[in-house]
Amino acid sequence: MRFTVLGSGSTGNAVLISSENTNVLVDAGMSAREILRRLGEVGIPHDRLDGILITHEHGDHAGGLRVLMASVDCPVFISRPTEDSYYDTRAGGQNGDSESSKRRAALKDRTVEIESTREFRIGDIDFEPFSVPHDAADNFGFAAKKDGVKVATLMDFGHMTDLIKEKLAGCDAIVVESNHSRDMLRACSVYTWDLKQRIMSRTGHLSNEDLSDWLQNDFDGTARHVVLAHLSQRANEPHLARLMAETALQMRSPLFRAETKITISHHKQPTEWIGF
Ligand SMILES: [Zn+2]
Ligand SMILES: [Zn+2]
- Domains within the chain, CATH numbers bracketed: 2-275 (3.60.15.10)
Report the separation in Å between the CA atom of 255 and the middle of ligand 2, taken as the mean of its atom positions: 36
Q: Which of 82, 81, 44 is nearest to 62 (CA)?
A: 82
Interval 58-94: pLDDT, tens: 999 999 999 999 999 999 999 999 999 999 987 666 6
Residue 182, H or E segment: helix 182-187
Q: Which residues surround ligand 1, an ion (CB under 5 A)?
A: 60, 156
Q: What's the predicted TM-score (pTM) here?
A: 0.96
Report the separation in Å between the CA atom of 101 and the middle of ligand 1, taken as the mean of its atom positions: 23
Interval 225-249: pLDDT, tens: 999 999 999 999 999 999 999 999 9
Report the separation in Å between the CA atom of 143 and the middle of ligand 1, taken as the mean of its atom positions: 18
Report the separation in Å between the CA atom of 159 and the middle of ligand 2, taken as the mean of its atom positions: 13
176 and 219 Cβ atoms separated by less than 8 Å? no
Nearest bound ligand to CA 135?
Answer: 2
Report the separation in Å between the CA atom of 82 and the middle of ligand 1, taken as the mean of its atom positions: 14
